[in-house]
């Protein structure tokens, strides 16, 4: 049941228009679909095969006549329509079907489903086939009209894509009403959306730069209107930004966002009717953190940007998913960089890449940005397709420059507006606009794995030359093994990528960079274009031994192997003009210190060099004058998962206990050694104005709460006397969730009776606010305390938990599996057993969410034999599950291969 990219063929039939009629009744819905079908001149012809899943066919007719049973067959997930007497079908015809569906029992949350008292749809990737029979593939684009009919009282809002063109009361039943929507743009079925619910609406409008007024609406659960202002503001910011940066305007008269509390992913870009997880809409200072506010900005922008990169130009097939996702993530990253801090945004993206994507590339599910095969497409909405995909787009941007990139975008839309295309088409537009050969660059789309970049530099005093030798390598991954097993070709050869670099002189300034053969220096940061396995670059006229600052702004998603001394790293930390690399130097230094500590077992603090503490002290000293947000980022030690990958990368067995111990001990040591300074910064940053999620305040809060977190690592006496009262006060205030949750998360790590009191008070106050309850679950799931596995099990029985609600599963179980490595990888196997129990129960309810959880086992082979034994037992138990969902089967199958 594997599907291969190489097997792609154009659709045999096209659908020009779809006229849907959806009647929502108690316990079921009836869907009538009228499809204007036409033979594809490019297709092979023959039978018309429609996809359908969990549909009860009531009637089928062709050009108005009920079809004789001999002319159609209903098989597993398809409906096939044949010509008369086994002859050909007419070249064009109207096909009408009537099906019954059961949205109330649709726990997969794909297709049409019930959430609380409303009905919502999710069609990407293959949910439309769970609503009606259809050739459900993105290269079939049709113009849709949709009439929705339901009880007026319970479902006052009836929404679909495009414009509402008519509405009224049902003739046969005055308690029911209907509304008809018409979407003027042809679209693939995955962009179809439908909402029937009772919702409050926040309305606004936006005037495009060409003067068209667009009506904007955010629909939320009744009573939540005071939580949607930020999402609306984000939408307007994003609309303006896309006009300014890419010349792209809104093309509809209406743009709606509907929020739903049961949703598998973040949000969905359905044409003109985005459907959002409430998590990325609702925010109020007392309920949402700075992180939540920023995530809302980004996701609202992301879905809006899809209107061009995804909807106007869509994907030919699902292998091309990164065509829209990688590009749209790049666009939302740039939006974030332009509206918040560019450096902080970049740091956070790279951190996410290292925590989420690098391990994926090193594990059993490794795949390139464009995979060549899949069993279940929902398993490929991954960090690789999204985040590495964005890095690939960013590399094109870096290689050809901002202006050429913009011209490439213009050309892409000129060529492909209204089409379903491939990643190849995107690169071709960039290449043609820039006049840069990107042939070799295309390998990024076909290769899995994180390349390594080895650098060696030498300065020669006599010739004043700095010689830099760069060597790239990329080992085969599990993906290449899967290709080989399937007898498929493997793409080989070096990759093409930009290496941005500077040479920092002893006085802290950047050397002007003149490459051998050039007559004059060209700036102090150069982008080298690396294409060969090994390349040497010679810089002339370098007056003193420089410290090389490589991969500025993280110019390529690679692992850098570059030997630099502690002193050199400290020099970069202090002087690099590239803010990202200042941070990076600190991370490399911290990683080195921690890995040495881990190798020594992680106990005590004898392994901690005084120089490192001093360097952190200097960062902290500059904290109030430098951007506080950057200071805060600089003092976050590398995550346990990143340290684990660093061990695995050196061929060592991951020791989650030693990693955790070393990291906590280093934090504690820094806290004791730098206590006065943490105190001083904490005091100086006391808030003086009412909450706003703006850059300046966000940075100050981040640094202040970082200080508080460190201070809480102090010994028992200091903690009780000085820090605990602050934690309790801060976690007990009710106006600013950023501060509250920072304090509560810290308290959740402390084995004190006050912990329980604070958690209980928090829950008592917020039990009616679902997204805040999620935070309560999350801080407990990620706690360091012994007994966390048992606590998570207990919380699964708590009335606040609901296995059917993805946000609850993510907050409690995924947080535990993905963000609490030390307890998930507990030596007694209890973490693995917990995950397996949940996955087994959940896969029958919601395979997509279960499959995401199953990815927690990706790195199981990197642990010791005892842990491996427990992990294998858990995986075997999942695999033995009866009727195992194919989503989970693919993930577990690969893990056990
Ligand atoms: N296209 C959505 C986005 O903006 C993601 C939806 C994916 N849904 C799914 N069930 N796989 O990224
Ligand atoms: Zn997207």
Q: Mean pLDDT of residues grouped by 10 in the chain (897 residues)?
A: 95 98 98 98 90 98 97 96 93 98 98 98 98 98 98 98 98 97 98 98 98 98 98 98 98 98 98 99 98 98 99 98 99 97 97 98 98 97 98 99 98 98 98 98 98 98 98 97 95 98 98 97 98 98 98 98 97 97 98 98 97 96 88 98 97 98 98 96 95 95 98 89 96 96 98 97 98 98 98 98 99 98 98 99 98 98 98 98 97 97
Which bound ligand lies closest to the C-alpha atom of 125? 1
CA angle 323–326–331, rounded 5-degree value: 110
Q: Is the CB of 265 under 6 A from ligand 1?
A: yes
What is the distance in A from the centroid of ligand 1 to the CA of 332? 15
Q: Whole-angstrom Cα distance, residue 354 to residue 558? A: 10
Ligand 1 nearest atom to the CA of residue 848, by list position: 10
Q: Is the CB of 381 under 6 A from ligand 1?
A: yes
Q: Is the CB of 405 under 6 A from ligand 1?
A: no
Q: Is the CB of 640 under 6 A from ligand 1?
A: no
Residue 24: predicted pLDDT = 98
User: Considering only CA atoms, which residue is closest to atom 11 of ligand 1?
Assistant: 378
Which bound ligand lies closest to the C-alpha atom of 110? 1
Q: Whole-angstrom Cα distance, residue 815 to residue 795? A: 13
Residue 626: predicted pLDDT = 78
Helix (H) or strand (E) holding 155: none
Q: Is the CB of 431 under 6 A from ligand 1?
A: no
User: Considering only CA atoms, which residue is closest to atom 2 of ligand 1?
Assistant: 268
Q: Whole-angstrom Cα distance, residue 303 to residue 269? A: 5
Residue 674: predicted pLDDT = 97
What is the distance in A from the centroid of ligand 2 to the CA of 874? 32
Among 276, 304, 381, 383, say which to mutate for ligand 1: greatest number of ligand atoms within 8 Å of CB: 381
Q: Which residues pair with 151 in a beta bridge?
A: 176
Do 189 and 128 meet the contact criterion of CB atoms below 8 Å apart?
A: yes
What is the distance in A from the centroid of ligand 1 to the CA of 272? 16
Looking at residue 441, the DSSP 8-state letter turns out to be G
Q: Is the CB of 277 under 6 A from ligand 1?
A: no
User: Considering only CA atoms, which residue is closest to atom 1 of ligand 1?
Assistant: 268
Structure ipTM: 0.98
What is the distance in A from the centroid of ligand 1 to the CA of 353? 19
CA contacts within 13 A on the Cβ side of 155: 27
Cα–Cα distances in angstroms (integers) from residue 125 to residues 106, 110, 380, in the given order: 16, 9, 10
Q: Whole-angstrom Cα distance, residue 90 to residue 67? A: 14
Residue 457: predicted pLDDT = 98
Sheet containing 526-530, strands listed edge to edge, beginning at the edge strand earlier in sequence: 526-530, 497-504, 547-550
User: Considering only CA atoms, which residue is closest to atom 3 of ligand 1?
Assistant: 268
- 303 carries an active-site annotation: yes
Q: Is the CB of 332 under 6 A from ligand 1?
A: no
Q: Which residues contact 167 (CB under 8 A, 6 or more apart)?
A: 158, 177, 178, 179, 180
What is the distance in A from the centroid of ligand 1 to the CA of 124? 6
Looking at residue 723, the DSSP 8-state letter turns out to be I
Q: Is the CB of 62 under 6 A from ligand 1?
A: no
Q: Which residues contact 520 (CB under 8 A, 6 or more apart)?
A: 514
Q: Whole-angstrom Cα distance, residue 124 to residue 127? A: 6
Ligand 1 nearest atom to the CA of residue 381, by list position: 11
What is the distance in A from the centroid of ligand 1 to the CA of 268? 6
Q: Is the CB of 124 under 6 A from ligand 1?
A: yes
Ranges of H-type helices in 556-692 = 566-575, 579-599, 610-621, 628-634, 640-649, 656-673, 675-684
């Amino acid at each position: 049941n594997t599907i291969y990219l190489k097997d792609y063929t154009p659709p045999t039939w096209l659908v020009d228009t779809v006229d849907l009629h959806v009647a929502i009744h108690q316990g079921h819905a009836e869907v009538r679909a009228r499809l204007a079908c036409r033979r594809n001149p490019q297709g092979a012809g023959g039978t018309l095969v429609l996809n359908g899943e969990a549909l009860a066919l009531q009637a089928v007719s062709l050009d108005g006549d009920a079809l004789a049973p001999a002319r159609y067959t209903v098989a597993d997930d398809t409906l096939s329509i044949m010509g008369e007497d086994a002859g050909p079908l007419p070249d064009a015809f109207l096909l009408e079907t009537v099906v019954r569906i059961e949205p109330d029992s649709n726990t997969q949350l794909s297709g049409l489903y019930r959430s609380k008292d409303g009905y919502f749809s999710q069609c990407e990737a293959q949910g439309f086939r769970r609503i009606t029979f259809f050739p459900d593939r993105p290269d079939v684009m049709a113009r849709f009209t949709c009439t929705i009919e339901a009880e007026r009282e319970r479902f006052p809002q009836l929404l679909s894509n495009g414009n509402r063109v008519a509405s009224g009361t049902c003739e046969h039943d005055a308690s029911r009403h209907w509304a008809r929507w018409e979407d003027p743009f042809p679209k693939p079925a995955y962009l179809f959306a439908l909402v029937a619910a009772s919702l409050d609406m926040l309305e606004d409008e936006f005037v495009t730069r060409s003067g068209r007024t667009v009506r904007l609406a955010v629909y939320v659960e009744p009573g939540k209107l005071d939580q949607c202002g930020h999402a609306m503001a984000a939408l307007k910011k994003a609309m303006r930004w896309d006009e300014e940066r890419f010349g792209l305007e809104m093309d509809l008269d209406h743009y709606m966002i509907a929020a739903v509390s049961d949703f598998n992913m973040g949000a969905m870009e359905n044409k003109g009717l985005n459907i959002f997880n409430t998590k990325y809409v609702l925010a109020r200072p007392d309920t949402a953190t700075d992180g939540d506010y920023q995530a809302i900005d980004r996701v609202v922008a992301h879905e809006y940007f899809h209107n061009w990169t995804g909807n106007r130009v869509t994907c030919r097939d699902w292998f091309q998913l990164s065509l829209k996702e990688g590009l749209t993530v790049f666009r939302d990253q740039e939006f974030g960089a332009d509206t918040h801090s560019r450096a902080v945004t970049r740091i956070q993206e790279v951190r996410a890449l290292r925590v989420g994507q690098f391990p994926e590339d090193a594990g059993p599910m490794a795949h390139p940005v464009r995979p060549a095969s899949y069993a279940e497409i929902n398993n490929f909405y991954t960090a690789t397709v999204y985040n590495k995909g964005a890095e690939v787009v960013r590399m094109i941007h870096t290689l050809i420059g901002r202006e050429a990139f913009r011209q490439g975008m213009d050309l892409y839309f000129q060529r492909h507006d209204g089409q379903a295309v491939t990643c190849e088409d995107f690169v071709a537009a960039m290449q043609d606009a820039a006049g840069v050969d990107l042939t070799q660059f295309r390998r990024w789309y076909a290769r899995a794995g994180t390349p390594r970049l080895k650098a060696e530099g030498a300065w020669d005093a006599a010739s004043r030359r700095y010689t830099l030798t760069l060597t790239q390598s990329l080992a085969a991954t599990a993906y290449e093994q899967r290709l080989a097993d399937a007898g498929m070709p493997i793409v080989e050869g070096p990759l093409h990528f930009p290496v941005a670099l500077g040479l920092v002189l002893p006085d802290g300034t950047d050397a002007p960079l003149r490459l051998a053969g050039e007559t004059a220096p060209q700036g102090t940061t150069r982008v080298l274009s690396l294409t060969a396995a090994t390349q040497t670059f010679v810089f002339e006229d370098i007056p003193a031994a420089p410290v090389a600052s490589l991969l500025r702004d993280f110019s390529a998603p690679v692992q850098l192997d570059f030997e630099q001394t502690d002193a050199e790293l400290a020099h970069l930390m202090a002087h690099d003009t590239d803010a990202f690399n200042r941070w990076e130097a600190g991370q490399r230094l911290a990683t080195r210190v921690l890995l040495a500590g881990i190798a020594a077992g992680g106990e005590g603090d004898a392994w901690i060099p005084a120089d490192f503490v001093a360097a952190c002290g200097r960062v902290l000293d500059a904290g109030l004058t430098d951007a506080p947000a950057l200071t805060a980022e600089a003092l976050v030690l590398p995550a346990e998962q990143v340290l684990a990958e660093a061990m695995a990368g050196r061929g060592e067995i991951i020791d989650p206990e030693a990693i955790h111990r070393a990291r906590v001990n280093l934090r504690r040591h820094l806290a004791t050694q730098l206590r006065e300074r943490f105190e001083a910064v904490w005091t100086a940053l006391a808030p003086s104005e009412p909450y706003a999620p703006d850059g300046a305040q966000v940075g100050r809060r981040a640094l202040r709460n970082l200080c508080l977190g460190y201070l809480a690592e102090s010994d028992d006496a200091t903690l009780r006397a000085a820090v605990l009262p602050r934690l309790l006060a801060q976690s007990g205030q009710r106006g600013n969730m950023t501060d509250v949750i920072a304090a509560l998360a810290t308290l959740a790590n402390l084995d004190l009776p006050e912990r329980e009191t604070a958690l209980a008070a928090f829950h008592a106050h917020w039990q009616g606010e679902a997204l805040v309850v999620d935070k309560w679950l999350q801080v407990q799931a990620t706690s360091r305390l012994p007994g966390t596995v048992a606590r998570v099990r207990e919380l699964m029985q708590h009335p606040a938990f609901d296995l059917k609600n993805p946000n609850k599963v993510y907050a409690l179980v995924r947080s535990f599996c993905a963000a609490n490595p030390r307890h998930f990888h507990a030596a007694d196997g209890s973490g693995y057993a917990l995950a397996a129990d949940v996955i087994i129960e959940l896969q029958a309810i919601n395979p997509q969410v279960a499959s995401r959880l199953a990815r927690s086992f990706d790195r199981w082979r990197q642990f010791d034999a005892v842990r491996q034994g427990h992990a294998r037992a858990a995986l075997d138990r999942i695999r033995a599950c009866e009727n195992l969902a194919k989503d989970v089967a693919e993930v577990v199958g690969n893990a056990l291969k």
